[in-house]
Amino acid sequence: STLQEPGLFTSMAIPAGAFVCIYTGTFFLSEEFDGLPRTQRDQLSRYATEVEQHGVTIAPPVAATTCKVDFTLHPAAAANEPSASGEANAFTQASVVEVVASDGELHAYLAACIFTCRAVAAGGESLWNYGEGYADQRKGAGYDAGPGCPDELIDEKSLPSMRNRVG
């Protein structure tokens, strides 16, 4: 990577429309994340992803001494954006998963996953555009990102509602 950052690489080819990984970390309500002390929020923002439609920010923990994320525990955080001359081959999709727990109650969980919109060759890097909300971080790092996956590719590859798949 030209930014000298880790990346999310694959050891085998991944077809378009394939699941890559789940974005993991601490789930914050957006207003809770925005209310964190500035230093902490700035450290977490580098690797955080916002799920706007659910008002949630997911941020993997950052080591206080190194300001780094453990990518073996949080591999999705290593996924980079395409360079200005490239294009994304992956996108994120958030889904609410409902399960009946042992207490008999229905519980809902939010999962943010990375999927491919284009094939990724063996040894290739999964790249997704982080969206407009990441503009300040891009500016601070001094780079421009390439475009995200086109909507028509995402729509083609997106999973149908869980309610439509489970009878």
**Residue 132 pLDDT:** 86
Q: In the chain, which residues have pLDDT < 70?
A: 1-4, 157-167
User: pLDDT digit string (tens) for 37-54?
Assistant: 999 998 998 899 999 999
DSSP string, 58-93: EE----TTT----TTT-GGGGPBPPBTTS--SEEEE
Helix (H/G/I), strand (E/B), else coil: 141: helix
Give the chain's mean pLDDT: 89
- Angstrom CA distances, 152 to 7, 17, 33, 157, stand at 26, 12, 32, 9
Residue 115, token pair as written in the block? 């999927």
User: pLDDT digit string (tens) for 89-107?
Assistant: 999 999 898 889 899 999 9
Residue 7, token pair as written in the block? 């990346």
Instruction: Specify the DSSP element, H or E, that contains 19.
Output: strand 19-22
- All residues at 6 or more sequence positions from 122 whose CB lies less than 8 Å from its CB, including other chains: 10, 11, 12, 13
**Residue 46 pLDDT:** 86
Residue in 117, 95, 5 with CA at minimum distance from that of residue 51: 95
**Residue 163 pLDDT:** 55
